Amino acid sequence: MNLLHSINDFNEAKQVIVGGVNSPVRAFGSVGGVPRFIQNAKGAYIYDVDGNAYIDYVQSWGPLIFGHCDSDIESSVLRSVKNGLSFGAPTELETTLAKEIIGTYDGIQKVRLVNSGTEATMSAIRVARAYSGKDDLIKFDGCYHGHSDSLLVSAGSGCATFGAPSSPGVPKDLSKHTLVARYNDIDSVRACFEESKAKGSGVGCVIIEPIAGNMGLVPADKEFLHQLRELCDIYGAVLIFDEVMSGFRASLRGSLAYCDVLPDMATFGKVIGGGMPLAAFGGRDEIMDLLSPVGSVYQAGTLSGNPIAVSAGLTSLLKLKSNPDIFEALSQKAKTLTQGLQDVAKSVGIPLQICHRGSMFGFFFNDKAVRNFDDARESDTTMFAKFHQKMLEKGVYFACSQFETGFICTSMGDKEISDTLDRAKESFEEIANDL
């Protein structure tokens, strides 16, 4: 596979961009090899600057549920561009998008649009603390909620890939208010509540990915989420579901279709932007009305509710709501892919754990099922790197870290799934022969 242009582009980028990339995992640090510089994409495929084609299971890390360059989303963006790129003033489209989110996700009565998942989670925590009147925050080991200071404690995703569960530069005075519990372990959550109570501060909110996508794909147990809801009610803490990745992805109702547990607040991103920078956070009226200009909790953003991004996201949501059967079809494709991967790995004696929720999927080179970040860290990341490199060489683009999630899009058909499994079989056989 010719990679001359990608190699040259990467070397040039490193002269002016830190590490040559604008998001750490893109540097391929945990899988080795050269990051592909992408020139264009269509449907299920991306094409690099050297003309190589790849079946794309990253899909811009989740937003592109309809694949690259969907004609409806593309048309809505082009129409919106002709009206202006940004106004710094309200538009009717913002209200329409807000109504679509509220009308789909139970328990959310008001939302605010922002530009990124980091902004959404950071802002949700701020207003949740104001509502509860308590400072401490409980998060879960391996869950990633963006790169704001209080949340870069035992984070997953890129932090896990680079072996830095807590980032330098985060003041101890901030991190001391963040307590870290073990995913799918209610006793560890209870211990955090008791620790906070003992030191006199109290837990103001709990944030969790109900379908964790940043330690690999690891769903929370239904009973665990019910117990978490009960603990938050007992201790007066605001429960925040981070659905930036899973919202309108795992199902039309995000994680709610799998657990029927209602949070007090939720954050959204990715799919609601249709590939453009857009996110949101929302909750019950009495919580959200603490935000300025109604209340005194300050949050703002120059480009929040950008009309181009809102147009893309609104088109994406309307397409999903007009054809809810999409989710079952995507789920079936993810099941076929993951089960197929497990079968071909097993045929050559390589242990592989698999999981999928709707169109989200993950796999671990591990002898046992993965239920938390400790389990995920026991996976064979060296094997993952070998497999990733083999598949990339054969034209299949998986997430470039063991601790990330893959995505199916509607543009993927039987051929793409079949081709992927054929190439996976070849890759596993080559790896097994080298062992």
Bond prior to 293 in cis (omega within 30° of 0)? yes
**Coil, strand, or helix at residue 203?**
strand
Q: Is 242 a catalytic residue?
A: yes
C-beta neighbour count of 6 within 10 angstroms:
21
Q: Which two tokens stand for residue 162?
A: 């680079």
Q: Is 141 a catalytic residue?
A: no
Given 70, 242, 264, 375, which residue is catalytic? Answer: 242
CA distance 391 to 425: 10
Eight-class DSSP state of 151: G
Q: Is 375 a catalytic residue?
A: no
Compute, in degrees rounded to 10, the torsion defined by CA atoms 337, 343, 347, 350. Answer: 80
CA distance 271 to 268: 8
CA distance 53 to 125: 41
Give 134: exposed, middle or buried? Use CB within 10 Å, 0-12, 13-18, 19+.
buried
Given 54, 57, 144, 183, which residue is catalytic? Answer: 144
Given 270, 386, 390, 394, which residue is catalytic? Answer: 270
SS (H, E, C) 344-375: HHHHCCCCCEEEEECCEEEEECCCCCCCCHHH
CA distance 379 to 155: 17
Eight-class DSSP state of 68: B
Nearest CA-CA partner of 333 in 356, 353, 350, 310: 356
CB 62 within 8 A of CB 68: no
Q: Which two tokens stand for residue 214?
A: 């940043």
What residues are labeled active site? 144, 242, 270
